[in-house]
């Protein structure tokens, strides 16, 4: 208990220094302390200390409490429901905008759908920083409804007066969310004519993920531009998978996984060969292991190059076809043998994976949520460009 009190005092001192100096270095120091405390005792220390601070009469202490509770939830799934309950209780009485920024960030880390009404209410706040935080965290807190209040809030935020808010809303709606409705498409289409170049880019990529033909010339132009987020554009091109993009792809740097994957998806011959080889793997696996339930899946919001071979023993994961075939030297029969070799034997023991780990977003771990960062680091990544694969880090909470 004494150690917990000491940690809390040190954290509050760091928070006050960071607030007074407005220095990135001091904010980083504070964020590092929050991180360290969130790792103490499997997150229980941060959750308990943070929950007590949520009851403080001091706004800065409540803000620190939100940061602690949110980080505890981010790193420890078992604590998320309790953390969300504590933060939602504070939201009913909290009026300080600075505290609400940390509160919304913390609720995003809980991934609790009960938080949707809180985030939607904050989407109309006068502080742009708070609306920006809402736009980023609605990637991870969802009603699950294609026309839910969260989706409608994101659509409204794509028309926000602040360009950064519109940018985050367009990214979340277009690239992080997987709903597809006429209202979402029209919102993204409107983004393609925004005065902000970044918002225009997010609108085009969001439409491409939904295979909207209006996005083809837009993506072609983006591929020819010097865009710091080109990797996202290459992902969008691979999802579209149309030969009209091949001339634009020829201008991109060859030899990278992103550019090679986009070309393979857009080249009709290579795409057909990939599909044939993938099906051959499934057929050969069924021959080797009768009744294993081998199947092929190609998610709508991913490139055809992201097809996965699955079977009954893989549960929520699978084998990325491109990686598996590369491991097998392009031979579908050999690829099937690699998969068969990993099917548990009679003793029920798993053999070592031969191709690679689980694909992102397949249900293993928290790969589809940004790695939580000390606030200054999150701010720096937000300024310099979004990180590949997992989407943007949320705007800084401090």
Q: How confident is the model over 176-219, as pLDDT tens digits?
A: 999 999 999 999 999 999 999 999 999 999 999 999 999 999 99
CB burial of residue 262 (10 Å; 0-12, 13-18, 19+):
buried
Coarse DSSP helix, strand, coil percentages of the chain, rounded to the nearest 5 percent: 65, 0, 35
Averaged pLDDT, 242-256: 89
Mean pLDDT over each residue of the chain, to the nearest integer = 83
What's the whole-number mean pLDDT along residues 167-182? 95
* Residue 384 predicted with pLDDT over 50: no
pLDDT, position 3? 67
Is the pLDDT at 358 greater than 90, yes or no?
A: no
- The model's pTM is 0.79
H or E element at residue 319: strand 319-320
110 vs 102: CA distance, rounded Å: 13
**Confidence at 67, pLDDT banded by 50, 70, 90:** very high
Residue with tokens 């929950």: 51
Confidence tier at 22 by pLDDT (50, 70, 90): confident
Question: How many Å separate Cα 163 from the centre of its chain?
Answer: 21
Instruction: Measure the CA–CA gap between 124 and 106, rounded to whole angstroms.
Output: 18
Token couple for 299: 């998610």
Flag whether pLDDT at 58 surpasses 80. Answer: yes
Checking 4-10 for CB contacts under 8 A at 24+ apart, the result is 4/45, 4/48, 4/49, 7/37, 7/40, 7/45, 7/49, 8/49, 8/53
Share of the chain above pLDDT 90, in %: 58
pLDDT for the residue 391: 38
Q: Would you state the structure tokens that stand for residue 211, as one six-digit string?
A: 């295979």
Q: Are 157 and 127 in contact, with CB atoms under 8 Å apart?
A: no
User: How high is the pLDDT of residue 134?
Assistant: 98
How deeply is 59 buried, as exposed, middle or buried, from its count of CB atoms within 10 A (0-12, 13-18, 19+)?
middle
Q: Burial of 220 by CB count in 10 Å (0-12 exposed, 13-18 middle, 19+ buried)?
A: buried
pLDDT digits (tens, 9 = 90+) for 101-134: 999 999 999 999 999 999 999 999 999 999 999 9
pLDDT of residue 15: 92
**More confidently predicted of 169 and 45:** 169
Using the predicted structure, report yes or no on whether residue 152 has a pLDDT greater than 80: yes
């Amino acid at each position: 208990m004494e150690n917990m009190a000491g940690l809390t005092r040190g954290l509050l001192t760091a928070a006050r220094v960071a607030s007074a100096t407005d220095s990135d270095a001091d904010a980083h120091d504070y964020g590092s302390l929050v991180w360290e405390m969130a790792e103490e005792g499997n997150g229980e220390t941060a959750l308990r200390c943070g929950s007590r601070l949520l009851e403080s009469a001091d706004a800065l202490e409540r803000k620190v409490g939100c940061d602690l509770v949110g980080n505890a939830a981010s790193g420890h799934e078992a604590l998320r429901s309790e953390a969300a309950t504590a933060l939602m209780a504070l939201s009913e009485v909290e009026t300080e905008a600075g505290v609400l920024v940390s509160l919304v960030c913390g609720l995003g880390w809980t991934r609790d759908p009960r938080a949707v009404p809180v985030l939607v209410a904050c989407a109309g706040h006068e502080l742009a920083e708070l609306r920006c935080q809402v736009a980023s965290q609605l990637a991870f807190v969802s009603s699950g409804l294609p026309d839910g209040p969260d989706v409608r809030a994101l659509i409204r935020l794509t028309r926000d007066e602040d360009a950064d808010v519109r940018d985050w809303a367009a990214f979340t709606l277009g690239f992080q969310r997987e709903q597809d409705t006429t209202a979402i498409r029209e919102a993204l289409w409107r983004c393609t004519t925004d005065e902000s170049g970044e918002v225009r880019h997010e609108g085009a990529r969001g439409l491409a993920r939904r295979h909207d033909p209006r996005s083809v010339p837009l993506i072609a132009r983006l591929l020819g531009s010097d865009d710091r987020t080109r990797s996202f554009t290459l992902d969008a091109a691979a999802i579209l998978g149309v030969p009209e993009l091949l001339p634009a792809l020829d201008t991109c740097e060859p030899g990278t996984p992103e550019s090679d994957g986009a070309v393979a998806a857009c080249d009709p011959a290579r795409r057909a060969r990939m599909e044939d080889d993938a099906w051959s793997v499934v057929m050969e696996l069924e021959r080797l292991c009768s009744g294993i339930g081998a199947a092929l899946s190609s998610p709508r919001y991913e490139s055809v190059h992201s097809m996965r071979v699955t079977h009954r023993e893989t549960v929520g994961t699978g084998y990325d076809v491109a990686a598996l075939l590369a491991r097998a030297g392009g031979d579908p029969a050999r690829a099937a043998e690699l998969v068969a070799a990993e099917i548990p034997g009679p003793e029920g023991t798993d053999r070592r994976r031969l191709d690679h780990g689980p694909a992102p977003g397949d249900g293993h771990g928290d790969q589809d949520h940004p790695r939580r960062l000390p606030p200054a680091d999150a701010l720096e990544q937000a300024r310099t460009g979004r990180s590949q694969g997992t989407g943007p880090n949320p705007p800084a909470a401090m």
